[in-house]
Amino acid sequence: MAKFIFVTGGVVSSLGKGLAASALAAILQARGFKARLRKLDPYLNVDPGTMSPYQHGEVFVTDDGTESDLDLGHYERFTGISTQKTDSITTGKIYSAVLAKERRGDYLGATVQVVPHIIDEIKTFVTNDITDEDFVICEIGGTVGDIESLPFLETIRQLGNDLGRENCMYIHVTLLPYIAAAGEIKTKPTQHSVKELLSVGIQPDLLLCRSDREIPEDARRKLGLFCNVKAERVIEASDLKSIYEAPLVYHANGLDTEVCKYFKIDAKAPDLSTWQEIVRRIHYPEGMVTIAIVGKYMQLLDAYKSIIQALTHAGIAHNVKVNLKWIDAEQTDQVAHHLRGVQAILVPGGFGNRGVDGKLEAIRFARENKIPYLGICFGMQLAVLETARNVLGISQANSTELDANTPEPVIGLMTEWMDGETLQRRQGDGNLGGTMRLGAYDCTLSPQSITAKLYGTQAISERHRHRYEVNMTYKDRIESTGLKFVGMSPEGDLPEVVERQDHPWFIGVQFHPEFKSRPFAPHPLFVGFVGAAMENLKS
Give me the active site residues, please. Answer: 377, 512, 514
Nearer to ligand GLN among residue 204 and residue 350 (C-beta): 350
Nearer to ligand GLN among residue 257 and residue 306 (C-beta): 306
Instruction: Go through 424-438 and write b for each residue having 16 or more CB atoms within 10 A of its CB, e for each that does not.
Output: eebeeeeeebebbbb
For residue 404, which amino acid is it? A
Q: Which stretch binds ligand GLN (CB under 6 A): 9-17, 261-269, 460-468, 514-522?
A: 460-468
Q: How far is CA 135 from CA 1, 70, 199, 450, in A?
A: 9, 21, 27, 41
Q: Mask of contacts with ligand GLN, 399-428, x by CB under 6 A? A: --x---------------------------
- Which of 123, 220, 465, 523 is close enough to bind ligand GLN by CB under 6 A? 465
CA dist., res. 522 & res. 312, Å (int): 9
Least distance CB 352 / ligand GLN (angstroms): 7
Nearer to ligand GLN among residue 80 and residue 428 (C-beta): 428
For residue 116, cis peptide bond before it (omega within 30 degrees of 0): yes
DSSP code at position 141:
P
Q: How far is CA 340 from CA 86, 202, 293, 362, in A?
A: 46, 56, 13, 11
- Which of 46, 255, 377, 497 is close enough to bind ligand GLN by CB under 6 A? 377
Nearer to ligand GLN among residue 175 and residue 346 (C-beta): 346
CA dist., res. 83 & res. 88, Å (int): 8
Least distance CB 411 / ligand GLN (angstroms): 7
Least distance CB 527 / ligand GLN (angstroms): 22
Least distance CB 289 / ligand GLN (angstroms): 24
- Binding-site size for ligand GLN (CB under 6 A) equals 10
The answer to whether the CB of 529 falls within 8 A of the CB of 314 is yes
CA atoms within 13 A on the CB side of 237: 28
Nearer to ligand GLN among residue 303 and residue 339 (C-beta): 303
Tell me the chain's radius of gyration from C-alpha atoms. 25
CB count, 10 Å around CB of 529?
A: 27
CA dist., res. 491 & res. 93, Å (int): 34
- Which of 364, 463, 467, 503 is close enough to bind ligand GLN by CB under 6 A? 467
User: Counting beta carbons within 10 angstroms of the beta carbon of residue 204, is it exposed (0 to 12), middle (13 to 18) or buried (19 or more)?
Assistant: buried
Q: Which stretch binds ligand GLN (CB under 6 A): 94-102, 262-270, 462-470, 501-509?
A: 462-470
Least distance CB 380 / ligand GLN (angstroms): 8
Least distance CB 196 / ligand GLN (angstroms): 39
Torsion of CA 64, 67, 69, 72, to 10 degrees: 10
- Which of 466, 500, 503, 516 is close enough to bind ligand GLN by CB under 6 A? 466
Q: Mask of contacts with ligand GLN, 86-125, x by CB under 6 A? A: ----------------------------------------
Nearer to ligand GLN among residue 243 and residue 374 (C-beta): 374
Least distance CB 515 / ligand GLN (angstroms): 11
Query: Do the bridges between strand 60-61 and strand 67-68 make them parallel or antiparallel, or are there none, so unpaired?
Result: antiparallel
First-to-final CA distance of the chain: 58
Interaction of residue 441 with ligand GLN, rule CB under 6 A: no
Q: Which stretch binds ligand GLN (CB under 6 A): 174-182, 335-343, 422-430, 461-469?
A: 461-469
In 3-state terms, what secondary structure has residue 476?
Answer: helix
Least distance CB 54 / ligand GLN (angstroms): 15
Site for ligand GLN in 342-361 (CB under 6 A): 349-351
Nearer to ligand GLN among residue 78 and residue 378 (C-beta): 378
Least distance CB 243 / ligand GLN (angstroms): 24
The answer to whether the CB of 529 falls within 8 A of the CB of 374 is yes
- Which of 75, 468, 485, 511 is close enough to bind ligand GLN by CB under 6 A? 468
SS (H, E, C) 258-311: HHHHHCCCCCCCCCCHHHHHHHHHHHCCCCEEEEEEEECCCCCHHHHHHHHHHH
**Helix spans in 105-175 (H):** 119-127, 150-163
Nearer to ligand GLN among residue 4 and residue 529 (C-beta): 529
Interaction of residue 463 with ligand GLN, rule CB under 6 A: no
Using Cβ positions, the residue closest to ligand GLN within the complex turns out to be 349
Strands (E), 296-361: 321-328, 344-347
Contacting positions for ligand GLN (CB under 6 A): 349-351, 377-378, 401, 465-468
